[in-house]
Amino acid sequence: GNSVTQMEGPVTLSEEAFLTINCTYTATGYPSLFWYVQYPGEGLQLLLKATKADDKGSNKGFEATYRKETTSFHLEKGSVQVSDSAVYFCALLSGSARQLTFGSGTQLTVLP
C-alpha cells in the first residue's frame, strides 16, 4: 500500500535559518506529491505540489523537488520566519485513488 514517512519533530530553528523537512514515500505507479501546512488553530492549507518526476513545487519561499530515484519530496526554505511556525504534512495521491495518504506531520517552531 501507499505510505509517507516524514522526519520526526519537533523542529526548532532561529529566524533566518535554513529549513529542511525530509519526506519519503512508498507508492504504486506515479503518485502526485503535496505539502500541506497547518497554522495554529486552523485547518490544512495546500503549500505546494508536484505531479511528476523532477517537478519542483514552490510557494512562499518554500520548495520541494519530486525525486523518483530516491522516492523523496523534501521541503526546503532558505530563510525561515517566525510566521512559518506551523505543522507541515507531506502527502501523496496515487493512481486512481481519490484520497490522500498523509505523513504524521512535523511541528516547526521558529524563534525570533
Partner 1 sequence: DVKVTQSSRYLVKRTGEKVFLECVQDMDHENMFWYRQDPGLGLRLIYFSYDVKMKEKGDIPEGYSVSREKKERFSLILESASTNQTSMYLCATRRGDRGPNQPQHFGDGTRLSIL
- Are 77 and 19 in contact by the 8 Å Cβ rule? The answer is yes
Chain positions 15 to 54 lying near partner 1, rule: CB under 8 A, are 32, 34, 36, 41-46, 49, 51
Interface mask toward partner 1 for 48-67; x: CB under 8 A: -x-x----------------
Q: How far is the CB of 44 from partner 1 (least distance, A)?
A: 4
Rounded to whole angstroms, how far apart are CA atoms 36 and 98?
Answer: 17
Residues comprising the chain, all counted: 112
Buried b (16+ CB within 10 A) or exposed e, 85-108: bbbbbbbbbbeeeeebbbbebbeb
- Are 85 and 19 in contact by the 8 Å Cβ rule? The answer is no
The residue (of 3 and 79) whose beta carbon lies closer to partner 1 is 3
Rounded to whole angstroms, how far apart are CA atoms 92 and 82?
Answer: 27
Is residue 82 within the footprint of partner 1 (CB under 8 A)? no
Q: Among 76, 85, 97, 109, indicate the residue that binds partner 1 (CB under 8 A).
A: 97
Find the part of the chain contacting partner 1 (CB under 8 A) among 16-24, 60-68, 73-81, 96-104: 96-104
Q: Could you list the residues that contact partner 1 (CB under 8 A)? A: 32, 34, 36, 41-46, 49, 51, 89, 93, 95-100, 102-105
